Copies of this chain bind each other. A is one copy, B any other.
Amino acid sequence: MSVGEIMVRVRYAETDRMGLLHHANYLVYFEQARTELLRSKGMTYKDLEDEGHLLVVAKLEIRYRSPAYYDDLLLIRTKQVRTTNVQIEHTYEVLRGDVLLAEGSSTLACVDRDGQLQRLPDKLTEDT
């Protein structure tokens, strides 16, 4: 099981009228965390996509436990928890220091340029 961590600083543009990180932006951080997890394994999502393996989000769950604020430095921890022939499952934790702010999970499906399901490339299934 591969695990990765990134640090993200909450941008002003990502906050909302409540002064908090807007809830939709957690999904953008999750995506960035997945990207960096791949990079840490010697791949880039860009190359995957350019080779015709598109990973689309099929399912996503998130539980917001405590708010994140402007300028917070957050740790996003991602685990690739399960991989089938055509899908990858990740879990996510968002932390500020020791405080768990949010938790989530996602299922990605591998499709071709026409949106048809296809097998994940071997390099993605081998090293989970």
Which A residues are closer than 8 A to B by beta carbons?
Answer: 9, 11-13, 15-20, 22-25, 27-28, 31-32, 35, 44-46, 49, 54, 56-64, 67, 70-71, 115
Contact = CB atoms under 8 A, between A and B. Distances in A.
A23 B58 CA distance: 9
Q: Majority SS of interface residues in chain A?
A: mixed
B49 A115 contact: no
Contacts of A18: 49, 54, 56
A17 B44 CA distance: 15
Contact of A115 (B9, B67, B70): B67
Given A46-B71, A64-B59, A67-B56, A11 B24 contact: no
Contacts of A23: 27, 56-57, 60
Contact of A12 (B17, B19, B70): B17
20 contacts: A11-B28, A11-B31, A12-B22, A13-B16, A13-B27, A13-B31, A16-B16, A17-B17, A17-B49, A18-B54, A23-B57, A24-B24, A35-B71, A45-B71, A59-B62, A59-B63, A59-B64, A60-B61, A60-B64, A61-B61
